[in-house]
Amino acid sequence: MKRLGIDIGGTKTLCIVIDDSGPEPLVVDERRVPTDPNGDAARIIADLARSFDRVDSLGVGIAGLVGRDGSVAVTTHLPGVHDLPLGRHLAATLGIPVAIDNDATCATVAEWRLGAGRGDDNMLMVTIGTGIGGGAVIDGRVARGHHGFAGEYGHIVVERDGVACPCGRRGCWEAYVSGRGLAHIAGATSSEAVVAAFADGDKAAALAVGEFAEWAALGLHNLVNSLDPGCIVLGGGLGSRPEIVAVIQERFVDGERGHVGRGLPRIVAAQLGERAGAIGAALVGAGD
């Protein structure tokens, strides 16, 4: 059967069709289109779905708060969308099963089923980019929480009265562990400049990356103590960079030495890259 997954990003929307009729899901079609933040989201998604040859289900990944019933409370990339029953509307319009989920949860499903977390039924994914997103698989089931909002790790407070976060609070984890956070730590104009300087052996950049990794490890310790995963997959523009992952791994292990008797989870870089959200959306649409 053909499953369409749509991942709505800030500037582009990625559509992927997988065929899950064989022993392993295979990508059989892929398309990128610009994201229109001001358009009618339901109409745009429906038109995209109709542009593909017959598909049997649709999954959509969106950055923001997505309820268990497929309603979108608020989303980062579509500022005009508030409390929209998107899943119900699309299912009625298209006449196929439709699932709407958080984009990081979709990426988690993809990495669990087909990527770096494959085979580990207690797995966390933490995406580090503009902010922090995430998802969890607990005992072989995707954790969504009572409202469907589980995995908003970025707003765990790691420093009371700390750095201001766009959410309105202070000291949120993503205020330190994000592109914005790394630039702030380094006193630089962008995280890209810091990472480039780090790769060139710049000592100041190395110190900044080290501090960034300390904050990353602190939050990961909190997640490990709460959920006891066997594997943590790091994704996103910063989180999946091998040189950054290596420093985070080092700081994490250093901070865990005092926990006698507990094995450490694997910390690994995501494998599916920018396609993870769309692949995961297709899998979620298929009922995974």
DSSP designation for 242: H
Nearest to 6 by CA among 288, 222, 283, 217: 283
Partners of 3 in beta bridges: 18, 57
pLDDT in tens, 7-47: 998 889 999 999 988 888 889 999 999 998 888 889 999 99
All domains of the chain, ordered by start, with CATH? 2-107+275-285 (3.30.420.40), 118-271 (3.30.420.40)
The 8 Å CB, 24+ separation contacts for 252-261 are 252/216, 252/217, 252/220, 252/221, 254/217, 255/217, 255/218, 255/221, 256/221, 256/224
d(CA 114, CA 234): 15
- Report yes or no on whether pTM surpasses 0.85: yes
Tokens of 14: 């990625």
pLDDT in tens, 157-214: 999 999 998 888 999 999 999 999 999 999 999 999 999 999 999 999 999 999 999 9
260 has pLDDT over 80? no
